[in-house]
């Protein structure tokens, strides 16, 4: 948020120098209001959203509370009692003032901590330097548990030496951060501000083998960013720019288009002897030349499969209302089978087996090229809908995206801005309902007509409903992926689209080759071709010679259904958050690549 001329679009909140931040337990994080007021400013992508107004109101209310605390401290009223009450309510432990002062006056060589992983959790001593904690504990991670188990063995806690150490006042956040920055410059690892100010809970340095434990600047900056991300997530906010996210995701459709372009020219490059214009028996229209029928027909059948998917899952949920897992398993299995059946139904509709010249599947046959384009048409429809859903998922985060910038303010600037005012129209927005009462709206719009008043109410209701719908959509996406959708790397999205295309190509080639070898692709014995010259015995012999092809078809079809079913089950809220999006995409890539080369193999394309 930019302080100054854009009061409606942004607001920068600075902490008063004499305010007393609330204290909490050492296993919690600093609150968003305390972090942003002293170090960061937030700028919303959509300042008129409910999230922005709520945060502005929270910042204003926090500033007023801090001003009241400062006034009480100056007048000497209930300052010590407030500190004791907060300390007791959060079950905190006081730090000895005398021992902390003695430690800060000594000059000892410092040791740097071992660099942690890029996703490590901040240590309790690092969190304590922020001067305050939130009411929600940090979510544990494997890196944090390993680090905690190592630290608990050698960590020495300091205990109060006398009762006077229990009486203290909390240093403000700005002072704790300024003292920490001074320590980073000197490199001694001690809080020199303790010589002139009272200590903050948990700010005493930790000792490891008699040496003070310090951290590198990069690790400290990384932990600050980690803390800020956690607090923004608690408020339902995310760092980022909507334009930047859309531009970055646009690499996915560009990559998908290039992949389709390469696969469209691959048969001509790898198999140049294929005739580009297949002839009879398929009657191509001048208005629908090759390969338009091979593209449009699978697109229509894919749309039918997509429309039936919701009905299938709803049907199994109705049949098995008490078993969601069973309905999910059966629904995914039935949908996978239906998709393969509809995709293979395009082959006999377009008379692909009738255009075959060879008696076995081979890339030299024109049926290979037609089957190739049938698969590309199905994959194109799937890719377009998937890309559109990706853009819709990013649009759900537009109202909760903020731009965070760090403020490095001097004491003079903090003294000037300690009485900063928020826009009056944004005060106490959180205390008001989403839909304002008619009386308040009527008083603020007394000069407007009833028609304008009704329109304003309807617009506000529509805006609130849209934000609730977006909130529900974000929750569904995060339940599915186990992480915010905007945090999925663009490389993973590109690889997922490539997996889909390769799997469709490979499975279509495999199933069509098995279908053309089976008796299902032949005309019945009493067909027109048999009546024109072939005897019943010859037709029966021709059908019986395809028994081996029938076995191959009834093996290939269930195998492809199982593979499609496994991929569908991995892409469910019950499994995907556990294994991770990256793991799912890599597993899909291995399966899709194997199916693709297997499809080329049955058509003698890699021999």
DSSP string covering 89-129 = HTT-----HHHHHHHHHS----EEPPP--TTPPPPHHHHHT
State the pairing for strand pair 211-214/207-208: antiparallel
110 touches 45 (CB < 8 A): no
Please tell me the distance from the alpha carbon of residue 454 to that of residue 463, in angstroms, as a whole number. Answer: 14
Please tell me the distance from the alpha carbon of residue 66 to that of residue 70, in angstroms, as a whole number. Answer: 6
Q: For position 290, what pLDDT does the model report?
A: 86
> What is residue 276's three-state secondary structure?
coil
DSSP string covering 397-413 = TGGGEEEEEE----HHH
Please tell me the distance from the alpha carbon of residue 193 to that of residue 176, in angstroms, as a whole number. Answer: 8
Q: Which residues contact 569 (CB under 8 A, 6 or more apart)?
A: 328, 329, 332, 575
Q: What residue ranges do the domains of the chain occupy?
A: 10-239, 244-275+293-397+484-602, 434-483
Please tell me the distance from the alpha carbon of residue 374 to that of residue 366, in angstroms, as a whole number. Answer: 13
Please tell me the distance from the alpha carbon of residue 276 to that of residue 290, in angstroms, as a whole number. Answer: 9
* Cα radius of gyration (the chain): 34
Please tell me the distance from the alpha carbon of residue 496 to that of residue 481, in angstroms, as a whole number. Answer: 13
CA angle 511, 514, 516 (to 5 degrees): 105
Q: What is the DSSP letter of 448?
A: S
Q: For position 231, what pLDDT does the model report?
A: 80
Please tell me the distance from the alpha carbon of residue 511 to that of residue 518, in angstroms, as a whole number. Answer: 11
- Nearest CA among 192, 418, 373 for reference residue 276: 373
CA angle 12, 472, 456 (to 5 degrees): 65
Please tell me the distance from the alpha carbon of residue 51 to that of residue 132, in angstroms, as a whole number. Answer: 24
Q: For position 443, what pLDDT does the model report?
A: 55
- Nearest CA among 426, 409, 427 for reference residue 418: 409
Q: For position 315, what pLDDT does the model report?
A: 92
124 touches 144 (CB < 8 A): no
User: How many other β-carbons are positioned within 10 Å of the β-carbon of residue 67?
Assistant: 15
Query: Which two tokens mark 541?
Result: 């012999």
Q: Which residues of the chain have pLDDT under 50?
A: 1-38, 77-215, 414, 416-432, 434-436, 525-534, 536
Q: For position 496, what pLDDT does the model report?
A: 96
């Amino acid at each position: 948020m930019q302080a100054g001329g854009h009061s409606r679009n942004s607001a920068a909140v600075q902490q008063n120098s004499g305010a007393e931040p609330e204290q909490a337990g050492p296993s919690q994080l600093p609150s968003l209001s305390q972090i942003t007021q002293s170090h960061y400013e937030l700028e919303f992508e959509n300042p008129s959203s409910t999230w922005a107004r709520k945060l502005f109101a929270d910042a204003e209310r926090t500033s007023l509370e801090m001003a009241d605390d400062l006034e009480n401290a100056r007048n000497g009223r209930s300052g010590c009692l407030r500190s004791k009450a907060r300390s007791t309510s959060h079950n905190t432990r006081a730090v000895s003032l005398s021992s902390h002062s003695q430690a800060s006056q000594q000059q000892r060589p410092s040791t740097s901590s071992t660099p942690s992983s890029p996703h490590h959790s901040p240590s309790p001593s690092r969190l304590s330097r922020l001067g305050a904690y939130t009411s929600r504990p940090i979510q544990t991670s494997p890196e944090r548990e390993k680090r905690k188990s190592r630290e608990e063995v050698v960590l020495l806690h300091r205990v109060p030496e006398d009762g006077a150490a229990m009486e203290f006042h909390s240093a403000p956040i700005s002072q704790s951060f300024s003292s920490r920055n001074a320590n980073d410059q000197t490199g001694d690892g001690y809080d020199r501000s303790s010589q002139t100010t009272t200590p903050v809970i948990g700010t005493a340095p930790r000792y490891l083998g008699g040496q003070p434990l310090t951290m590198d600047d990069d690790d400290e900056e990384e932990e600050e960013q980690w803390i800020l991300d956690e607090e923004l997530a608690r408020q339902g906010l995310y760092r980022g720019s909507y334009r930047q996210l859309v531009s970055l995701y646009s690499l996915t459709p560009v990559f998908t288009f290039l992949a389709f372009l390469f696969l469209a020219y691959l048969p001509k490059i790898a198999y140049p002897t294929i005739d580009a214009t297949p002839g009879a028996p398929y009657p191509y229209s001048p208005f629908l030349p090759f390969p338009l029928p091979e593209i449009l027909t699978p697109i229509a059948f894919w749309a039918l499969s997509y429309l039936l998917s919701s009905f299938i899952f709803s049907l199994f949920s109705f049949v098995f209302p008490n078993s969601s897992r069973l309905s999910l398993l059966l629904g995914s299995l039935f949908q996978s089978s239906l998709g393969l059946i509809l995709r293979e139904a395009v082959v006999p509709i377009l008379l692909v087996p009738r255009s075959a010249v060879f008696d076995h599947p081979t890339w030299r046959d024109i049926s290979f090229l037609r089957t190739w384009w049938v698969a590309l048409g199905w994959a194109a429809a799937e890719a377009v809908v998937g890309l559109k859903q990706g853009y819709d998922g990013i649009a759900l985060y537009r109202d909760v995206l903020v731009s965070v910038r760090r403020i490095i303010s001097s004491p003079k600037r903090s003294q000037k801005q300690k009485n900063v005012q928020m826009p009056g129209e944004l005060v106490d927005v959180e205390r008001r309902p989403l839909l304002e009462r008619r009386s308040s709206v009527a008083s603020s719009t007394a000069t407007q007509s009833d028609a304008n008043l009704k329109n304003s109410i309807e617009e506000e209701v529509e805006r609130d409903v849209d934000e609730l719908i977006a909130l529900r959509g974000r929750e569904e996406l995060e339940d599915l992926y186990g992480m915010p959708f905007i945090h999925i790397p663009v490389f993973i999205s590109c690889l997922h689209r490539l997996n889909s295309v390769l799997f469709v190509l490979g499975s279509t080639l495999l199933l069509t080759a098995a279908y053309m070898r089976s008796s299902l692709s032949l005309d019945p014995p009493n067909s027109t071709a048999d009546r024109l010259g072939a005897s019943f015995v010859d037709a029966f012999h021709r059908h019986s010679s395809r028994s081996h092809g029938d076995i191959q078809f009834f093996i290939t079809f269930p195998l492809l259904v199982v593979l499609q079913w496994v991929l569908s089950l991995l892409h469910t809220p019950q499994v995907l958050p556990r294994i991770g999006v990256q793991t799912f995409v890599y597993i899909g890539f291995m399966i899709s690549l194997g199916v693709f080369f297997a499809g080329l193999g049955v058509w003698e394309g890699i021999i």
